Amino acid sequence: MWRGLHREAASLTELSELVAAENDPALEGDVEREAATLEKKLDALEFQLVFSGRYDRASAIFAIHAGAGGTESQDWAEMLLRMYLRWAEQSGYRTSLLDSSRGEEAGIKSATVEVAGANAYGWLKGEKGVHRLVRLSPYDAAHARHTSFALMEVLPEAGDDVDVVIRDDDLRVDFFRSSGAGGQNVQKTSTAVRIVHLPTGITITCQNERSQNQNRETAMKVLKARLIAREEEKRAEEMARVRGAHVSAEWGNQIRSYVLHPYKLVKDHRSGYESHSPQDVLDGELEPLLKAYLLSQVGKEEGQTR
């Protein structure tokens, strides 16, 4: 396919030279249209390269955690959750809230969401890291400018063909009552589940489903995804060590800033992409940001296997 495009480009170059010699405006218009068509083919083929990782075509599980700062950061975490849910809806993905923890006054302390559909992980994998918000605080009596942080995790959801061995002896499973708003919504039985993977210390809780079995199945799904992500991170760290590259800690890895005051700007610190319409981005228009980052990484992810 790449060779075919190369031949088309060579033919178009020869044609453009002939048309330039003829100085015919109509023929020049034909060449411009063919060049535009060829450019679209090249862009589409180039973009296929970004989904060449082992899990890129799989569904995804993401988790958002509010940073230090109490209500401010918890409100920012909920804004991010809404942003990704809106993007998923606009992109045709199915989402399920697997677990969440509300803030004391507003927002969320954390939330875990499944995004089901082809290429979900491929699209979202670059969103892992720290997201920074600068705005005039709606929770400050002085309406001062605040900076808030939230951490985004993105995990590949393993299919049946992925061999992840989890032994029963390696698990500690606890059951407890789901937290609720009170009244009739409070669970009378212990349906919420906490699973601790003893060898790694990974702890998963799930309380959004109605039954104990459903919560346990969901928690196991998230645990499996975390174990896969852990192995992928080890592989990436090893490749970085071989190449001599620096790998930042998660909370030190600020990937994007969203500035609502004193000016309006969303900037991805890795690709350099900027948007001066932060409200559109927060309403789910993420594709330009996602695409710019993914294209900037083509050829860099040597450690991934197909």
Q: What would the pLDDT profile of 45-91 be if each residue is shown by its tens digit? A: 666 778 888 889 899 999 999 998 889 999 999 999 999 999 999 99
pLDDT tens track for 224-237: 999 998 888 888 77
Q: Which of 161-165, 173-177, 193-197 has the lowest mean pLDDT?
A: 161-165
Residue 251, C-beta contacts closer than 8 angstroms, at least 6 positions apart: 67, 130, 151
Segment 240-260 shows an average pLDDT of 72
pLDDT at 110 over 90: yes
Judged by DSSP in three states, 275 sits in: strand
Select from 251, 257, 250, 263 the least CA-distant residue to 133.
257
Q: Is the peptide bond before 262 cis (omega within 30 degrees of 0)?
A: yes
Judged by DSSP in three states, 165 sits in: coil
pLDDT of the residue at 164: 81
pLDDT at 166 over 50: yes
Residue 42, C-beta contacts closer than 8 angstroms, at least 6 positions apart: 5
The H or E element that residue 246 is part of is none
pLDDT of the residue at 59: 95
Q: Using CA atoms, how far apart are residues 182 and 179, in angstroms rounded to an integer?
A: 8
Q: Whole-prediction pTM value?
A: 0.77
pLDDT at 181 over 70: no
Would you mind telling me the total number of residues written for the chain in this entry? 306
Q: Is residue 220 very low, low, confident or very high in pLDDT (cuts 50, 70, 90)?
A: very high
Q: Using CA atoms, how far apart are residues 95 and 157, in angstroms rounded to an integer?
A: 13
Looking at the chain, the whole-number percentage of residues with pLDDT higher than 70 is 78
